[in-house]
Amino acid sequence: MNALATVSTDQEQKPAMFYEVHGEGDPVVMIHGLGGNSNIWTPQVTTLQRFFRVIRPDLVGSGFSRLDGETISIERYIRDIVGLLDRLDIGSAHLVGHSMGTIVCQHLAAWHPERVRSLALFGPIHTPSDAARDALRARAETSRTRGMLPVAEAVVQGGTSAYTRADRPEIAAFVREATLRQHPEAYAQTCEALANAQPADTDRIRCPSILVTGDEDGTAPPTAAGSLALSLPDADFTVLSRCGHWTSLERPRDVTEALTTFYFSRTFR
């Protein structure tokens, strides 16, 4: 594993971008979403690292990556991921994204098609609706004025399925803890970055894709995710039952199977 061995929870002491690298082979870069961090992909890494070089960054302001003086934006995330590829001497990679991370992936594939071999999008978003943009800006205000506790409670209730909350309390607890530990200002800026996100030009995306969402995903509902899949030239689309927005955690085996099946049946044929 290549990663920074020690990290601090103090913003000033955190690295510019924390990341972990597991395994060897073709590179797979896994990008988390709003309120998440690189740990949301932990259930998939055990299998993927047997076949691939798996890179998991914490986006700026999230996890162990610090909030610096530059305002967070989708464009900043894209630049940071391209910079990480350059730092690791990776010409092109398979991109995996969750939620907001899927927007980053789509823009990367549209702007830098030579750097992207495939897209795997979980809880995929093309662009937030007007209502979602307003809700994100309101959430940013909440995190700044009231802290992360009310945000964390709302994320668990609105972002996970009824089955997860009732029968998988450890997953609900993980989502709550991951959100609760976000830096309030960094989280607020991330909300605003997502609220201001513009749709990627899907006509410019040429790589194979897989899109997966949950039947109880209110952020990336099946109708919207399905429409996004139809706009991509070479895409498979799957809906997971009893699943909310936190796909990789709520249905970890299905997500791992979807990824491995996609890679070995579609991207290496």
The structure's pTM equals 0.93
Residue 94, domain member (yes or no): yes
Question: Which has the closest alpha carbon to 106: 246, 220, 209?
Answer: 209
Which DSSP symbol is given to 234? Answer: S
pLDDT of the residue at 66: 82
- pLDDT tens string, the chain, 269 residues long: the values are 444 433 334 445 455 789 999 999 999 999 999 999 999 999 999 999 999 999 999 999 999 998 887 889 999 999 999 999 999 999 999 999 999 999 999 999 999 999 999 999 999 999 999 999 999 999 999 999 999 999 999 999 999 999 999 999 999 999 999 999 999 999 999 999 999 999 999 999 999 999 999 999 999 999 999 999 999 989 999 999 999 999 999 999 999 999 999 999 875 54
Write down the pLDDT at residue 229.
97
**pLDDT at position 15:** 59
Q: Identify residue 159 by its one-letter amino acid code.
A: G
238: three-class secondary structure by DSSP = strand
- Long-range contact list for 154-160, CB < 8 A, 24+ apart? 155/35, 155/179, 158/218, 159/218, 159/219, 159/244, 159/245, 159/246, 160/244, 160/245, 160/246, 160/250
pLDDT in the model for residue 267: 59
Cβ atoms of 30 and 96 within 8 Å: the answer is yes
Residue 260 placed within a domain: yes
Tokens at 66, concatenated:
């610090």
Residue in the block written with tokens 């990480």? 84
Query: In this structure, is residue 111 part of a structural domain?
Result: yes
User: Is 99 inside a domain boundary?
Assistant: yes
For 69, the domain range is 2-128+199-267
Residue that is written with structure tokens 């305002």 in the block:
71
DSSP readout, 217-231? -SSS-HHHHHHHHHH
In a domain, 259, yes or no: yes
Q: How far is CA 155 from CA 11, 149, 152, 170, in A?
A: 23, 10, 5, 15
What is the predicted pLDDT for the residue at 3? 44
Asked, for residue 181, whether it belongs to a domain, the answer is: no
Task: Confirm whether 115 is domain-assigned.
Answer: yes
pLDDT tens for each residue of 95-122: 999 999 999 999 999 999 999 999 999 9
Nearest one of 269, 245, 267 to 97, comparing CA atoms: 245
**What would the pLDDT profile of 205-216 be if each residue is shown by its tens digit?**
999 999 999 999
**Helix pair 100-111, 74-87: axis angle to 10 deg:** 70
Q: Considering the domain boundaries, does residue 262 fall inside one?
A: yes
CATH number for the domain that contains residue 66: 3.40.50.1820
In total, how many domains does the chain have? 1
